[in-house]
Amino acid sequence: MADGARLIPPPIAMLAELTHRCPLSCPYCSNPVDLARREAELSTEDWADVFRQAAGLGVLQVHLSGGEPASRRDLAQIVAAAREAGLYVNLITSGIGLTEERLTEIVAAGVDHIQLSVQGTRAETADRVGGYRGGFAKKMEIAEAIARAGVALTLNAVMHRHNLGELPEVFDLAERLGARRVEIACVQFQGWALENRAVLQPTRAQVDEAKDLVAEARSARAGRLVIDFVPPDYYADLPKACMGGWGSTGLNVAPDGTVLPCHAAQTIPGMRFANFRDLTLEEIWYRGPAFAAFRGTDWMPDPCRSCDRREIDFGGCRCQALAVLGDAAAPDPVCRRTEGRTRLDELLRAEGNAPDLEAARWRRIGG
Ligand code: SF4
Ligand code: FES
């Protein structure tokens, strides 16, 4: 390891995007518009190698995601390989494509935790958003099977203008399914979701009401249910440290082995990404140009470079700066200390009269 690399901390978490295939077609999908083809996906052995290298690098936990990870027929082997490497294994799934038999294999392979996503709490809304008739009923079956298997469960719900009204029911559903944690994330406008921003963006009134409901539910359900709530960035005044800071705590491996500093990094024009098939994870993490590009504070423009929050939020999200301002090297436009905020406010005003959900573009991927 070169001297400069010694100052870079090792990653602690990895998102393994096993496939981009997915039987659902949610309009809020944050995966790229151009998806990796099935033929380009890493093999079971490749993933086992990724996990060994990741553990050697310092990674403690892996999040198996997609697309829909259950679209990989070798999911149980992949889980076993991650466990064998000594990683804590979290499976993020829509439940579609899982059966009780497959779940039993995955549990036997050593999965530690499952995050099950729902598109709503009523079959009608959930199936409409997910674009998959009967999907909600299947999810409920799998949730019951997860409870029977005794695996720790978190319920994930992506909320937007058309389902935020169901928030109290999300808490009830989580408890009914035996989840100890619920993660409610307002849609992040990356990848495909960006095309549907005007349709999906909640109103400020909805977000304020949701915050009150979360506060009430946290106190009423304390000791039974942990509630994580991620409000929409656009209504905040200061940005979050996306990825805990670029190239500082985590990395993503895309289905074809491309190693990314964040989920949406491939949207950044001109950035070169290394592939696990060509270089080791260690070389990519410590010396890859994509990881070096926005690491730390040296790259920062004004006013970030002299700001007292520069080592708190690291200038916010690069992909959001790109999506809103067309410049990945600009401060996150959420920040009220920067000029870019004017553009974000204009955008929110322009998209205030959002069209109905029917105006959204659903994905068609296939599992
Ligand atoms: Fe963060 Fe930059 Fe805003 Fe300061 S100016 S709060 S570092 S985005
Ligand atoms: Fe890429 Fe935030 S999603 S830096």
pLDDT digits (tens, 9 = 90+) for 189-220: 887 777 878 788 888 888 899 999 999 999 99
Q: What residues are paired with 52 via a beta bridge?
A: none
Ligand 1 pocket check for 135: Cβ under 6 Å: no
Phi, psi angles (nearest 5°) of residue 280: -75, 160
| pTM given for the model | 0.91
- Tell me the C-alpha distance between 110 and 83, whole Å: 6
Q: Which two tokens stand for residue 115?
A: 């995050």
Rounded (5°) CA angle 232-233-236: 105
Residue nearest to atom 2 of ligand 2 (CA): 317
Q: Ligand 2: which of 230, 234, 242, 314 to mutate, judged by most atoms within 8 Å of the beta carbon?
A: 242
CB of 303 within 6 A of ligand 1: the answer is yes
How many whole angstroms separate alpha carbon 341 and alpha carbon 325? Answer: 10
Measured by CA distance, the residue closest to atom 2 of ligand 1 is: 304
The Cα 19–Cα 255 span in angstroms is 5
For residue 281, how far is its CA from the centre of ligand 1 (angstroms)? Answer: 30
From CA 36, how far away is CA 52, in angstroms rounded? Answer: 23
Q: What CA–CA distances, in Å, run from 290 to 48, 207, 259, 295? A: 24, 34, 9, 9
What pLDDT score does 161 carry?
84
- Compute and round to an integer the Cα radius of gyration of the chain: 20
Q: Which atom of ligand 1 is nearest to the CA of 303?
A: 5
Distance (Å) from CA 107 to ligand 1 centroid = 43
With contact defined as beta carbons under 8 Å apart, do 102 and 78 qualify? no
pLDDT at 4: 54
Closest CA to 143 of 177, 114, 107, 110: 177
Work out whether strand 226-230 and strand 181-186 pair parallel, antiparallel, or are unpaired: parallel
- C-alpha 293 – ligand 2 centre gap (Å): 13
Atom of ligand 1 nearest to the CA of 335: 3
Beta bridge partners of 226: 181
Give the whole-angstrom CA distance, residue 192 versus residue 199.
13
Number of CB atoms found within 10 A of residue 175's CB? 15
How far does residue 313's CA lie from ligand 1's centre (Å)? 7
Dist. CA 249–CA 61, nearest whole Å: 11
Q: Which of 338, 339, 344 to mutate to test the pocket of ligand 1 (most atoms within 8 A of CB)?
A: 338
HSE toward the beta carbon, residue 292, CA cutoff 13 A = 11
pLDDT given at position 165: 85
Q: Which residues line ligand 2 (CB under 6 A)?
A: 190, 242-243, 262-265, 317-319
Q: Is the dihedral of CA 188, 192, 198, 199 positive or negative?
A: negative
Query: pLDDT tens per residue, the chain (367 residues)?
Result: 555 555 899 999 999 999 998 887 777 777 776 777 888 999 999 999 999 999 999 999 999 998 899 999 999 999 999 999 999 999 999 998 899 999 999 999 999 999 999 888 888 888 887 777 888 899 899 999 999 999 999 999 988 888 888 899 999 999 999 999 999 988 888 877 778 787 888 888 888 999 999 999 999 999 999 999 988 888 999 999 999 999 999 999 999 999 999 999 999 999 999 999 999 999 999 999 999 999 999 999 999 999 999 999 999 999 999 999 999 999 999 999 999 999 999 988 887 777 787 777 776 766 6
75-126 residue pLDDT tens:
999 999 999 999 999 999 999 889 999 999 999 999 999 999 988 888 888 8
261: Cα separation from own chain's centroid: 13
Dihedral in degrees, nearest 10, Cα atoms 319, 323, 324, 325: 80
Count Cβ atoms below 10 Å from residue 308 Cβ, excluding itself: 7
Nearest ligand by distance to the CA of 252: 2
From the CA of 317, give the closest atom in ligand 2. Answer: 2
d(C-alpha 357, C-alpha 13), whole Å = 35
Taking every pair of Cα atoms in the chain, the longest distance, rounded to a whole number of angstroms, is: 57
- Cβ proximity of 18 and 72 under 8 Å: yes
| Extended beta strands in 141-191, E state | 152-159, 181-186
* Ligand 1 within 6 A of CB of 239: yes
Substitution site in 17, 188, 258, 262 for ligand 2 pocket (most atoms within 8 Å of beta carbon): 262
Fill in the DSSP letter of residue 253: E
**Ligand 1 mean position to 312 CA, how many Å?**
9
**Probe target for ligand 2 pocket from 266, 300, 320, 322, with the most ligand atoms within 8 Å of CB:** 320
Mutate to test the pocket of ligand 1, among 242, 294, 297, 313 (most ligand atoms within 8 A of CB): 313
DSSP label at residue 262: S
What distance in angstroms lies between residue 22's CA and the mean position of ligand 2's atoms? 22
Distance 239 CA to ligand 1 centre (A): 7
Ligand 2 centroid – CA 169 distance (Å): 30
Please name the residue that has the structure tokens 């695996």. Answer: 151
